[in-house]
């Protein structure tokens, strides 16, 4: 049975990914921090902003076959209002944690010459968003990491791919008017976490696809 680790798996996209993998017979563990996990799955409490906790988590978990770097935080601010704290907090979760989770997962996968890393970026990582410059920057960084790491790990039989969700019906978008959001989408509706999970599973089970960026956004980008 293949082992899957999903960061930020308490709610939303992470939860949908976990439930789909469990349904398909995978051994799934999710990370959480300050958010209740309300469904049946193995959990690890980890503050992903702290590299030492990431390292300890992987030591405790042991070998894994699939890593889904899903955890992320958003920030809606103009650049002139963005503080050093904002910068450090958002980059710590959205970029640094992705990097070091990928590092420790790769160390595990290299021993078996197989594995899959799937990163969750955003359509704003592809095209940028006004008033979300910091968030857009970090998500673009995830895309860059995906492309570079895919080349580095391909000779070892490890795939690295990226899913870029559009406007998804999750807690992150609850602050906005749903009708207004739907008006921005050519398909006329928000995406679901389950639709992102299907894209993640596709990459997890595709041995000859690597370094690819897949937009799941209803036609926005």
Q: Which residues are catalytic?
A: 135
Closest to 95 measured CA to CA, from 154, 165, 144: 144
Closest to 145 measured CA to CA, from 83, 206, 211: 211
Residue 162 token pair:
């990226």
Contact (CB, 8 A) for 29 and 17: no
Q: C-alpha 45: how far from its chain's center?
A: 17
H-run or E-run covering 158: strand 158-165
Distance, in Å, from the CA atom of 73 to the CA atom of 142, rounded to the nearest integer, reads: 13
């Amino acid at each position: 049975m293949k082992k899957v680790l999903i960061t930020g798996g308490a709610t939303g996209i992470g939860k949908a990914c976990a439930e789909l993998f469990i349904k398909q017979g995978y051994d799934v563990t999710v990370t959480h921090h300050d958010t209740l996990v309300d469904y049946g799955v193995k959990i690890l409490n980890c503050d992903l902003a702290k590299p030492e906790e990431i390292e300890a988590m992987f030591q405790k978990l042991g070998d894994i076959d699939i890593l889904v770097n899903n955890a992320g935080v958003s920030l809606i601010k103009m650049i002139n209002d963005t503080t050093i704290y904002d910068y450090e907090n958002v980059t710590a979760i959205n970029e640094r944690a992705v990097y070091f989770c990928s590092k420790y997962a790769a160390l595990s996968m290299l021993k078996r010459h197989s594995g899959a890393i799937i990163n969750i970026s955003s359509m704003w990582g592809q095209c940028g968003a006004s008033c979300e410059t910091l968030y857009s920057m970090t998500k673009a960084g995830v895309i860059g990491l995906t492309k570079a790491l895919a080349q580095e790990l391909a000779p070892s039989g490890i795939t690295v791919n990226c899913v870029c969700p559009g406007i998804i019906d999750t807690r992150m978008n609850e602050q906005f008017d749903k009708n207004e959001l739907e008006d921005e989408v050519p398909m006329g509706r928000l995406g679901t976490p389950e639709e992102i999970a299907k894209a993640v599973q596709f990459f997890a089970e595709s041995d000859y696809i690597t370094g690819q960026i897949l937009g799941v956004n209803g036609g926005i980008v």
